[in-house]
Amino acid sequence: MSDGMKRRDFLKVLGVSGAGAATAGCSTGDVEKLIPYVIPSEDIVPGIPTYYTSTCRECPAGCGIHVETHEGRATKVEGNPDHPISRGNLCARGQASVQGLYHPDRFQGPVTREPGVRDTVVTWGTAERLLAQRIREIQQAGGGGGIVFLTQDYTGTMNRLADEFVGAIGARRVIFDPWQAQPRGLQFADANYLISFGADFLETWGSPVEYSWQFAQMHSYRNGRRGKFVWVGPHRPLTGLNADQWLAPRPGTEHLLAQALAGRLDSATAAQQTEIPQATIDQIAQEFRAAGGVALGPGAAISGPNASQLRDAIGALNAGRGGNAGVATRPSGREMIQLVQQMNAGQVQLLLIDAQNPAYTLPTSLGFRQALERVPTRVSFSSFPDETAELATMLLPNHHFLEAWDDYIPEAGVNELIQPVMRPVFNTKQVGDVLISVAAQLGTPVGGGLANTYYDYLRTGWAGLAGGEAWREAVRRGGVYPAPLTPGTGAAGFLPLQGATAGAGVVGAGAATTDPSQTTANLATTGQTGEVLQADVQQPATPAGPAPSAPVAAQGDANGNLNLVVYPSYRFYDGRTANRPWLLELPDPVTKVPWESWVEIHPRTAEEMGIAQGDLVEVTSQHGSVTTWAYVYPGVRPDTVAIQMGLGHAAGGRWTAGLGVNPNALLGPTLDEATGSFAGYGVRVRIAKTDKPSIIPGMLLNGEKFFNPSAGLFEQGVRVQYDREIAQAISVASLATQERQGHPSVPGSEPIESLRGKGGFLPIETPTDPAAYPPPATQYGEYFDSAPRWAMVVDLSRCIGCSACVTACYAENNIPVVGATEMKKGRDLSWLRIERYFHPSGDDEAAMSDTGTNDVRFLPMLCQHCGNAPCEPVCPVYAAYHTPDGLNGQVYNRCVGTRYCANNCPYKVRYFNWWTYDFPEPLNWQLNPDVTVREKGVMEKCTFCVQRIREGKHNAATENRPMTDGDVVPACVQTCPTEVFVFGNISDPNSAVSRAAQSVRGYRALEVTNAQPAIVYLKKVTLQEPAHGGHATAATTESAVPAEAH
């Protein structure tokens, strides 16, 4: 034997070092400890998501949700299909709620602090002890009244607990939740005529998801007719843009218009006051009566000092319909003014705050912040660093609603449960638990001392509604509520609203059900008559309006010459969701401006004042001023400017703080005396261009500076279609004719056909018939006859442009947020985008005219999954390829990033990863494990949620059955509140998608390229003949803007 290494030893060393090298070589990042379940949970199958039922609490609507969790982490929120409010759908705010859960800047545990000096992290035990000690001190000093609990407008159990708590410790409760009282549960899906007085019910007002669906039902085309929607208000937010007619009365005179329509005021007087032609008022009044219309309102944006008069007039319009659309709001304004006075007077020793950020939401001139600093002990339950929490001396961060047990009653009869879907991300504690614990420490336990936790307290309250065995079922269903109403069953009547928002506890409300006699009051059959309306006027219950010649007095000083509208934001509500990067990245549905605030100015006004789009302007009221970017918008009255709420936070995390402006700075603490609520409408402002240079004239980034592309307003996209006929429309009359005659010639082929007479080409006709799949010229072996052909129908007549689908896509597909600077370079990765065209022509002037917003088209644009895809043959490495089931596959691993596919895509729906994007911990917990996170240098695009297709396929295979319609629901289809999308297998003639595709309204975008897309758009249906292509400026509806109003 030699002394050298033995063969065995050599092999051992080789094996060990080889394995070591292989292991080290395989790890791509930091080494992390992987701890498997020692005892695996029976409920958790790795790789299979678990769904929990709960309730969305991002706004007062209270949509029922399903929360998808993967291995104990919530990844996505979806609507609960059994729920009467959400109907399985959800808005963008709801979709983004997981970003609130995982926001990296959330408070991570209880803190006592001397603001600006030091923060001390404490345990919950210490924090509660300190709080109890402080309460005891105040109690012993005899100042129990000096303790104020400022709360949201709780419903259900939390309301009961809060009342009991303040009773037990001798405190006082003040409720601040200005929009909580907007009416929910209204039913107008079967209405033929709808008037909204500033109520942005597709965005924030009442119950947007529910109302969006109802609006789509009444407003979309069915059986040869379609309902009409009239918008009343000084500007057009998203809801207003969806209207067929816009009436813009002189600001402050909206109630006179409503009174005139209700027949309480003669139209001549109303016309004189409102600046709306008498003929128009008469016409609307006549139409409204004839159709038995529904009136909604008043919206928060036009609630001025005389809002109660408008509310009464709207009530009169709805008289006899089983309820009043405008319930009285809680007089939170008056209470807040009193509270501020007391705080200033030093009468408040301890303020517990569990309300929606009053330091931001209240008019700045009220001085809440300054008053708050005079309170010695300020306790915030906010889980997020907002303006109010920044001023607190003690932070007791609450759970996110996805981490907590709770209940919520958005409307009578709908008792919802909220259950935790995962362990808390941070060391937070539920407010209810803190209250119970503190009360017990003080020796005055709540709940009879029987409830140690808020969960016990909740169960006790629910004993009557769902006690014992019923509790499990209630949790599974997410509460106790009736089934959703189906359209056509007389769903146009109003449900009663009284009591729904009055804070009745679960026990008190019991298992209230809807009154069938009211829900079945069908507008179409009730047949409202003038006599009935006249009779209503004399009802003493509705207070008569004031003298019609007294419009709301302008508050402005002598120089003020423009009216200000401060309106709620679809994305940020009143500012509470402004910290969600997805929502910041989502362009506003109307202005298409992401990551910024703006002030909307009418083109004529802007021109007179020498203001161009993107100029920096200072808006000054007597209460304050803000400086923001001008957005020139024809959907606002010339004598009015509009600013959206939601941005301009001083605090709010890394993305939000310092972004945009807060229009509350312009408002005064004005009250609607009749109801005692704040009146933000009626302020007058001056605007002036500031000295700073204008940087980006929105549309085409012409003036972008070379090294400074970050500053300024960015409006995504363009306002006109440049005659491309991407978003098409057809009038009801033409549609009826076409339906009689059958499918017309290929849309958009008219010039080609005239060419054919001279020997030109005829494009390959693109039939929407399922038998035509696979289409000619696409048989390169990519299709299997036996495989499905996934396809989608997009009904533009239902699309309201809300962009919930966009956020759902971000959530499902791990799409990163790129930020404002990158968005200006078109580098957003939004696989699905909503295009918003003011005008079909190439005529910018037409789009900026007064009629420019009368035929606005919204178009969801996503990968068309072309049968003859231009992107596929140009890829040199087969990263873009065709799957046997007709998808345009994209293999991220194979992509080298030549970007040729994106260049060759006529729809520009391929997105390149310019960087490796960051998901700061714990935001990365949200990432969907079923979808690859892409790295820099790789092309990506819509996959029709291929992971869901595969999941549906596997499920069907597991259950040993063929795939059926509805097995696959992509994220956008799933969430759409108006059910715009139909998805399925178009080679199956019985599938919903192939039936929908055969509509005479069907067309494909950019058919001239012969890409044979799998997406069939159904034309928008307008009441009047739309301006089709060309440079015709004929508007579909009458303009409401007075020609020279200011």
Contacting residues toward another protein, per CB under 8 A: 700-702, 704, 706, 709, 716-718, 720-724, 726, 751, 755, 760, 822, 825-828, 833, 835, 837, 861, 870, 873-878, 894-900, 902-904, 906-908, 911-916, 936-939, 1006, 1008-1009
Q: Which is nearer to another protein, 100 or 870 (CB)?
A: 870
Taking the complex as a whole, the smallest distance from the CB of residue 842 to another protein amounts, in Å, to: 8
Taking the complex as a whole, the smallest distance from the CB of residue 997 to another protein amounts, in Å, to: 22
Taking the complex as a whole, the smallest distance from the CB of residue 591 to another protein amounts, in Å, to: 14
Taking the complex as a whole, the smallest distance from the CB of residue 168 to another protein amounts, in Å, to: 58
Q: Which is nearer to another protein, 275 or 828 (CB)?
A: 828
Q: Which is nearer to another protein, 651 or 815 (CB)?
A: 815
Q: Which two tokens stand for residue 387?
A: 């303006």
HSE-up of residue 143 (Cα within 13 Å, Cβ side): 14
With beta carbons less than 8 A apart as the criterion, state whether 982 and 815 touch. no
Q: Which two tokens stand for residue 811?
A: 């959530």
Taking the complex as a whole, the smallest distance from the CB of residue 899 to another protein amounts, in Å, to: 3
- Burial of 172: CB neighbours in 10 Å, binned 0-12, 13-18, 19+: middle
Q: Which is nearer to another protein, 612 or 650 (CB)?
A: 612
Q: Which is nearer to another protein, 233 or 697 (CB)?
A: 697
Q: Which two tokens stand for residue 345?
A: 């007077």
Taking the complex as a whole, the smallest distance from the CB of residue 629 to another protein amounts, in Å, to: 19
Return the beta strands (E) in 6-116 as ranges: 50-55, 64-70, 73-79, 111-114
Full 3-state SS string of 266-296: CHHHHHHHHCCCHHHHHHHHHHHHHHCCEEE
Taking the complex as a whole, the smallest distance from the CB of residue 896 to another protein amounts, in Å, to: 5
Give the other-Cβ count within 10 Å of 994's Cβ: 25
Q: Which is nearer to another protein, 425 or 718 (CB)?
A: 718
Q: Which is nearer to another protein, 898 or 1039 (CB)?
A: 898
Taking the complex as a whole, the smallest distance from the CB of residue 752 to another protein amounts, in Å, to: 9
Q: Are strands 228-232 and 245-247 parallel, antiparallel or unpaired?
A: parallel
What is the C-alpha separation between 662 and 586, in angstroms, rounded?
A: 19
What is the C-alpha separation between 833 and 811, in angstroms, rounded?
A: 14
Taking the complex as a whole, the smallest distance from the CB of residue 701 to another protein amounts, in Å, to: 5
What is the C-alpha separation between 210 and 89, in angstroms, rounded?
A: 8
Q: Which region holds residue 427: left if phi is over 0, alpha if psi is between -120 and 50, else beta?
A: beta
Q: Which two tokens stand for residue 700?
A: 């085409």
Taking the complex as a whole, the smallest distance from the CB of residue 839 to another protein amounts, in Å, to: 11
Sorted by sequence, the CB contacts under 8 Å of residue 503 that are 6+ apart come out as 153, 154, 155, 159
Taking the complex as a whole, the smallest distance from the CB of residue 906 to another protein amounts, in Å, to: 4
Q: Which is nearer to another protein, 37 or 761 (CB)?
A: 761
CA dist 960 → 387, 955, 964, 967, 984 (Å)? 56, 8, 12, 13, 19
CA dist 142 → 342, 507, 536, 937, 958 (Å)? 17, 34, 53, 68, 70
CA dist 196 → 228, 256, 294, 718 (Å)? 11, 14, 8, 28
Q: Which is nearer to another protein, 727 or 997 (CB)?
A: 727
First to last CA, the chain: 108
Taking the complex as a whole, the smallest distance from the CB of residue 996 to another protein amounts, in Å, to: 24
Give the other-Cβ count within 10 Å of 224's Cβ: 11
Taking the complex as a whole, the smallest distance from the CB of residue 875 to another protein amounts, in Å, to: 6
Sorted by sequence, the CB contacts under 8 Å of residue 574 that are 6+ apart come out as 178, 179, 204, 356, 361, 568, 645, 646
What is the C-alpha separation between 170 and 490, in angstroms, rounded?
A: 49
List Cβ<8 Å contacts ≥24 apart for 1032-1036: 1032/841, 1033/841, 1033/843, 1033/846, 1033/849, 1033/851, 1035/851, 1035/854, 1035/855, 1036/244, 1036/729, 1036/731, 1036/854, 1036/855
Q: Which is nearer to another protein, 908 or 950 (CB)?
A: 908
Q: Which is nearer to another protein, 605 or 888 (CB)?
A: 888
Taking the complex as a whole, the smallest distance from the CB of residue 611 to another protein amounts, in Å, to: 22
Taking the complex as a whole, the smallest distance from the CB of residue 876 to another protein amounts, in Å, to: 4
CA dist 614 → 210, 618, 696, 715 (Å)? 36, 12, 6, 9
Identity of the residue numbered 392 = A
CA dist 697 → 332, 702, 761 (Å)? 41, 7, 40
Return the beta strands (E) in 128-272 as ranges: 147-151, 172-175, 193-197, 228-232, 245-247
Taking the complex as a whole, the smallest distance from the CB of residue 1027 to another protein amounts, in Å, to: 16
List Cβ<8 Å contacts ≥24 apart for 309-314: 309/255, 309/259, 309/545, 309/546, 309/674, 310/197, 310/254, 310/255, 310/258, 312/255, 312/542, 312/543, 312/544, 312/545, 313/255, 313/258, 313/259, 313/261, 313/262, 313/264, 313/545, 314/197, 314/258
Taking the complex as a whole, the smallest distance from the CB of residue 1017 to another protein amounts, in Å, to: 14
Residues β-bridged to residue 120: 112
Taking the complex as a whole, the smallest distance from the CB of residue 825 to another protein amounts, in Å, to: 5
Return the beta strands (E) in 381-475 as ranges: 394-395, 406-411, 414-418
